[in-house]
C-alpha cells in the first residue's frame, strides 16, 4: 500500500522511541511484521536524555520522559544502514531540533543513509526547547516543515502534539508547508507522584502518557485531522489490538503506529495485521483504504 509517498508492507508501523536505538533492534521489529519502522528521534548532537526513572507502567498506561537520548545524526547513520540492510520494511527517520536550521541540518546529515521518509518530532512533551516547545506554534511548524521539505528528496511527515487547543491548526500548517502526512498523536503531557515519598516518579518530574489511556484522545485528533486536511493521517496512541487499529482507521487513519504495546508482545504487528484482515473479510472490504475515515459518513 502506498501511503503518503512510501510503500508500506502493511498498515502497522513501529512508532518512534520504541526499539529504535539500534539498527538491529529496528530490523527485529521489521522481521516481526511491522509495515514500516520509525527510528528514535535523532538530533544535532549526542544527548544522554533525562535521568531515570524514565518510563513507568501505571494503572492505565505508561508514563515516560526519556529526554530524547540519541547519538546525533552522525552517530546514527550507521544504524539506519544496518536496519535497511536487514529488513525490507521502509525506514522512517524521526528527527528533532530546536529550530528550522537544526531540523534541516539533521535531515541533511541523515540523507546519506537513505531513509525512505522523515518524521518531524515537533511534539515530544518533555524536552525543553525541543518537541512540543516548537510544535504548539503553527508558524514555527510551518517554517520547520517547509525547510526540511526543501532540503530532502523523500516524503516528510509531521508528528503532532495533542497538547494544544486545536490540533487541526497545527496540522494545516504542516500540510501547507508541504508535509506528505501528519502523524497524530504524540504522548499526552502527564505526571505521576509516589505518595509514600512525595517524589514525582519520573526523573524529569513530568512526561508523556501513552498506552490505552490516550486512545480516545488520539481517535478524536485523527478524526478531526482527517476532516480538516487533504494529506493522509497516520494514527498513533494506545493501539494494543486489532480492534484499536480498526477504530483508528475508521476515524480516518491511513495507517497506524504502534508503540507501548510492544511491551506486552513483540509480535504485536503480526497480531494486528491478521486481525485487520479478518475484519475486512468479515465485513466485505478488500483493503484498508476502503474503511479509512468511514465513520465520517455515519452521521
Cβ proximity to other proteins, 220 vs 263, nearer residue: 263
* Residue 44-73 contact track with other proteins, rule CB under 8 A, x = bound: --xxxx-xxxxxxxx---x-x-x--xxxx-
Q: Is 124 a catalytic residue?
A: yes
Q: Does 255 bind other proteins (CB under 8 A)?
A: no
- The secondary structure of 106-146, three-state, reads HHHHHHHHCCCEEEEECCCCCCCCCCHHHHCCHHHHHHHHH
What is the number of other CB atoms lying within 10 angstroms of the CB of residue 145? 26
Identify the residue whose cell numbers are 497538547: 163
Footprint on residues 78-97 left by other proteins (CB under 8 A): 82
* Residue 194-213 contact track with other proteins, rule CB under 8 A, x = bound: x-xx-x-x-x----------
User: Among 210, 198, 164, which residue's Cα sits nearest to residue 172?
Assistant: 164
Q: DSSP 3-state assignment of 233?
A: strand
Which three three-digit cell numbers place residue 78?
A: 550507521
- Look up residue 200 and give its DSSP letter: B
**Of 60, 124, 221, 241, which residue is the catalytic one?**
124
**Residues marked as binding for FMN?**
16, 40-41, 121, 159, 185, 211, 237-238, 259-260
Contact region with other proteins (CB under 8 A), list: 13-21, 90-98, 223-231, 242-250: 13-21
- Look up residue 94 and give its DSSP letter: E
User: Among 50, 197, 28, 186, which residue's Cα sits nearest to residue 122?
Assistant: 186
Binding footprint of other proteins on the chain (CB under 8 A): 17-22, 24-29, 40, 46-49, 51-58, 62, 64, 66, 69-72, 75-76, 82, 192, 194, 196-197, 199, 201, 203, 259-260, 262-263
**Residues assigned a catalytic role:** 124
Amino acid at each position: 500500500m502506498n501511503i503518503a509517498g512510501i510503500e508500506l508492507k502493511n498498515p502497522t508501523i513501529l512508532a518512534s522511541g520504541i526499539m529504535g536505538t539500534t539498527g538491529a533492534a529496528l530490523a527485529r521489529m521489521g522481521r516481526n511484521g511491522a509495515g514500516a519502522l520509525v527510528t528514535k528521534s535523532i538530533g544535532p548532537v549526542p544527548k544522554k536524555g533525562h535521568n531515570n526513572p524514565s518510563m513507568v507502567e501505571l494503572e492505565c498506561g505508561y508514563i515516560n520522559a526519556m529526554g530524547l537520548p540519541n547519538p546525533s545524526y552522525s552517530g546514527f547513520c550507521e544504524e539506519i544502514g544496518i536496519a535497511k540492510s536487514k529488513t525490507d520494511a521502509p525506514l522512517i527517520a524521526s528527527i528533532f531540533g530546536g529550530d528550522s536550521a537544526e531540523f534541516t541540518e539533521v535531515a541533511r546529515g541523515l540523507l546519506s543513509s537513505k531513509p525512505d521518509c522523515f518524521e518531524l518530532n515537533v511534539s515530544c512533551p518533555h524536552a525543553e526547547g525541543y518537541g512540543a516547545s516548537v510544535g504548539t506554534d503553527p508558524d514555527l511548524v510551518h517554517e520547520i516543515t517547509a525547510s526540511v521539505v526543501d532540503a530532502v528528496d523523500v516524503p516528510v511527515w509531521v508528528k503532532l502534539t495533542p497538547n494544544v487547543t486545536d490540533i487541526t491548526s497545527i496540522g494545516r500548517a504542516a500540510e501547507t508547508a508541504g508535509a506528505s502526512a501528519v502523524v497524530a498523536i504524540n504522548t499526552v503531557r502527564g505526571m505521576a507522584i509516589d505518595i509514600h515519598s512525595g517524589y514525582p516518579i519520573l526523573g524529569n518530574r513530568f512526561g508523556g502518557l501513552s498506552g490505552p489511556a490516550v486512545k480516545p484522545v488520539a481517535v478524536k485528533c485523527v478524526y478531526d485531522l482527517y476532516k480538516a486536511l487533504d494529506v493522509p493521517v497516520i494514527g498513533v496512541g494506545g493501539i494494543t489490538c486489532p480492534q484499536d487499529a480498526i477504530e483508528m482507521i475508521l476515524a480516518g487513519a491511513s495507517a497506524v503506529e504502534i508503540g507501548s504495546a510492544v511491551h506486552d508482545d513483540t509480535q504485536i504487528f503480526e497480531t494486528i495485521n491478521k486481525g485487520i484482515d479478518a475484519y475486512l473479510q468479515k465485513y466485505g472490504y478488500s483493503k484498508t483504504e476502503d474503511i479509512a475515515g468511514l465513520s465520517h459518513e455515519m452521521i
